[in-house]
Amino acid sequence: MDFAISEKMQTILELINEFVDKELIPLEQQFLSRPWAELVPVLEEKREMVKQMELWAPLHPKEWGGMGLDLVEYGLVCEALARTFTGVYVFGCQAPDAGNIEILMKYGTPEQQERFLEPLVAGEIRSCFSMTEVDQPGSNPVMLDTTAVLEGDEYVINGHKWYTSSADGAEFAIVMAVTDPEAPTYLQASMIIVPTNTPGFNLVRNIPVMGHAGDGWHSHAEILYQNCRVPKEYLLGPQGQGFVIAQERLGPGRIHHCMRWVGICNRCMELICERALTRPISPNKKLADKQIIQTWVAECAAEIRAARLMILNCAWTIENFGAKEARQDISLIKFYAAGVMQRVVDKALQVHGGLGMTDDTPIAAFYRGERAARIYDGVDEVHKISVAKRILKEAGAAKGLL
Ligand SMILES: Cc1cc2nc3c(=O)[nH]c(=O)nc-3n(C[C@H](O)[C@H](O)[C@H](O)COP(=O)(O)OP(=O)(O)OC[C@H]3O[C@@H](n4cnc5c(N)ncnc54)[C@H](O)[C@@H]3O)c2cc1C
């Protein structure tokens, strides 16, 4: 793999870093202390600036008003944007919309694209992805209770979902529901678009996560689908292909998440260094003079570098050989990068002492918000089991031990 960054990308990354520093980091205290709705007008202004700079929607194709970056380039952009909470939102590449946009582009009918995709890519509306259920294991997603039964020209949806991120204020949900209960397991579910103003779409609450319920884009909802009827034309992709489409959504999506986590690590390293270099710890010494802090700095730097190179290599493999070829790497980066981030954020918090526990720095919010990285998009254990099984199988086959 060629790790060189093109001149064009270097310019883009410089522009983004400058924008994040000047325009977005100063908004962090507002983000942490005020309702989402109060922040939206100022974020809209920032989005306009980004559009003027032609940096809007870096992932999405140019014909849809995006920058059309490839996966490696987009990964680098995610890294730069994730240094602060609102980066991906202001640049129009926030989850869960980015993933939904990709599947609507690939599977949406022209009518679905006109009604749902066009305003979504333009940042005029938001969406959510509703798969995980309260009573079934998300780590084994083929176990779903939610059903969508075709009655005449409508699907009637019933089910109890939660962790539908960003549902509060979203225009529509992409819901995973069982449409073909008699089919083979992986062909039982379908994706269906459900406008959130449909009767029977009942947002029960924004779930408090680590003590914070959040609101708007920055929230995770519990939703009851109660005889929720949508036209059969809102089926997204072929019936029974829900899991196949979900898999497509998740592969490259893990690059976005993992590079975002590297960005969070980078920010934590900036904060660690700043604090260690300025915090007196005895009359003539700063925290940075202590060898234990120096060791942490070195260890964090090594782990971040390792994670970053693994992720970029994986993105390059997906870009050049497809997601199937990168399956093992996708699992490796998912649990490894999440673990690195957790350790780096924890070290940053420790270096800041009592200050680290407050919301006066972004570290505590990273700490509570990003613990979930080891759970969503595949829990650590499932990724590790899948990697280990493959390695053992290959080793066994090579040595004639199977
Ligand atoms: C912040 C956040 C945002 C999310 N956003 C969304 C979203 O937008 N849309 C959506 O649909 N879902 C979302 N999710 C849900 C997420 O995908 C699930 O939480 C995840 O798939 C795990 O499912 P579960 O919570 O049901 O845990 P379970 O499946 O009950 O697993 C619990 C634990 O069991 C262990 N475990 C599981 N399987 C195995 C195994 N095979 N071997 C050994 N141990 C195992 C793991 O330690 C795991 O953490 C989000 C979750 C979080 C925390």
Dist CA 190 CA 245 (whole Å) = 9
Contact 168, 145 (CB under 8 A): no
Q: Is 164 in the pocket of ligand 1 (CB under 6 A)?
A: yes
Q: Is 376 in the pocket of ligand 1 (CB under 6 A)?
A: yes
Q: Which residue, among 155, 170, 125, has the nearest Cα to 233 in the 3D structure?
A: 155
SS3 of the chain: the string is CCCCCCHHHHHHHHHHHHHHHHHHHHHHHHHHHCCHHHHHHHHHHHHHHHHHCCCCCCCCCHHHCCCCCCHHHHHHHHHHHCCCCCHHHHCCCCCCHHHHHHHHHHHCCHHHHHHHHHHHHCCCCCEEEECCECCCCCCCCCCCCCEEEEECCEEEEEEEEEEEECCCCCCEEEEEEECCCCCCHHHCEEEEEEECCCCCEEEEEECCECCECEECCEEEEEEEEEEEEEEHHHEECCCCCHHHHHHHHHHHHHHHHHHHHHHHHHHHHHHHHHHHHHCEEECCEEHHHCHHHHHHHHHHHHHHHHHHHHHHHHHHHHHHHCCCCCHHHHHHHHHHHHHHHHHHHHHHHHHCCHHHHCCCCCHHHHHHHHHHHHCCCCCHHHHHHHHHHHHHHHHHHHCCCC
Cα of 372 vs centre of ligand 1, distance in Å, is 9
Cα of 331 vs centre of ligand 1, distance in Å, is 15
The amino acid at residue 192 is I
Atom 12 (ligand 1) nearest CA? 132
Is the domain spanning 127-236 CATH 2.40.110.10? The answer is yes
Can you give the pLDDT of all 402 residues of the chain as single tens digits? 777 899 999 999 999 999 999 999 999 999 999 999 999 999 999 999 999 999 999 999 999 999 999 999 999 999 999 999 999 999 999 999 999 999 999 999 999 999 999 999 999 999 999 999 999 999 999 999 999 999 999 999 999 999 999 999 999 999 999 999 999 999 999 999 999 999 999 999 999 999 999 999 999 999 999 999 999 999 999 999 999 999 887 778 899 999 999 999 999 999 999 999 999 999 999 999 999 999 999 999 999 999 999 999 999 999 999 988 999 999 999 999 999 999 999 999 999 999 999 999 999 999 999 999 999 999 999 999 999 999 999 999 999 998
* Architecture of the domain whose range is 244-398: Up-down Bundle (1.20)
Per the CATH hierarchy, to which homologous superfamily does domain 7-100 belong? Acyl-CoA dehydrogenase/oxidase, N-terminal domain (1.10.540.10)
Q: Which residue, among 172, 176, 179, 165, has the nearest Cα to 217 in the 3D structure?
A: 165
Going from N- to C-terminal start, the domains of the chain cover 7-100, 127-236, 244-398
Burial class (CB in 10 A: 0-12, 13-18, 19+), 196: buried
Q: Is 96 in the pocket of ligand 1 (CB under 6 A)?
A: yes
Dist CA 394 CA 402 (whole Å) = 9
Q: Which residue, among 141, 112, 106, 142, has the nearest Cα to 127 in the 3D structure?
A: 112
Atom 17 (ligand 1) nearest CA? 376
**Ligand 1 atom index nearest CA of 131:** 11
The reported pLDDT for the residue numbered 90 is 98
The reported pLDDT for the residue numbered 237 is 97
Most informative mutation of 376, 381, 387 for ligand 1 (most atoms within 8 A of CB): 376
Dist CA 293 CA 324 (whole Å) = 41
The reported pLDDT for the residue numbered 249 is 75
Atom 14 (ligand 1) nearest CA? 163
Q: Is 94 in the pocket of ligand 1 (CB under 6 A)?
A: no
The reported pLDDT for the residue numbered 131 is 97
Q: Is 220 in the pocket of ligand 1 (CB under 6 A)?
A: yes
